[in-house]
Structure 1
Amino acid sequence: PDPTAEVLAECQKQEWALVRPRLAAGQTGGHTVPYMSERFMAIFEARPGYPAFLVPFVLAFGVTWGLWTAGVVIAGAGGVLAFLILRTLSVPVPLALAGQALYYVLPCGTTAMRPMTEGLLMALTLAAVWGCALVLRAGRNRAGLAVVAGSLSALFTVKHSQALFLGLCLAAAGGVIALRRYRRRRRRLRGRGGPASRDVLALAAVGLAGAVATLLLARLLHYPSEADSLQDLLTDHFNRPDRKHPWPEFWQLQGNFWVEWLRRQAWQPLFAAALAAGAWGALRRGGAVGGFLVAAACTGILTQAGHPDINIWGERLIVLAWLLPVVGVPLLLAPVVRGGRVPLPAQGQPDRAGAVG
Structure 2
Amino acid sequence: MTMKTMLMGAAAGLALSASGALADGPAIIFDLGGKFDGSFNEAAFNGAELWASETGGTYSEIELTSDAQREQAMRRLAEAGSNPIVMAGFSQATALSVVAPDYPDTKFVIIDGVVDAPNVRSVIFSEHEGSYLVGMLAAMASEAGIVGFVGGMDIPLISRFGCGYAQGAAAVNPAVTVIANMTGTTPSAWNDPVRGGELTRGQIAQGADVVYAAAGGTGFGVLQVAADEGILSIGVDSNQNHLHPGSVLTSMLKRVDVAVHDAFTTGPEVVTGVHVFGLAEEGVGYALDDNNAALITAEMQAAVDTARAAIIAGEIKVHNFTDDGTCPVQMQ
Bin the TM-score by the shorter chain: under 0.3
Decide which structure has the larger Cα Rg and report it: 1
- TM-score normalised according to structure 2 size: 0.26
- TM-score normalised according to structure 1 size: 0.24
Greater strand share, 1 or 2? Answer: 2
Greater helix share, 1 or 2? Answer: 1
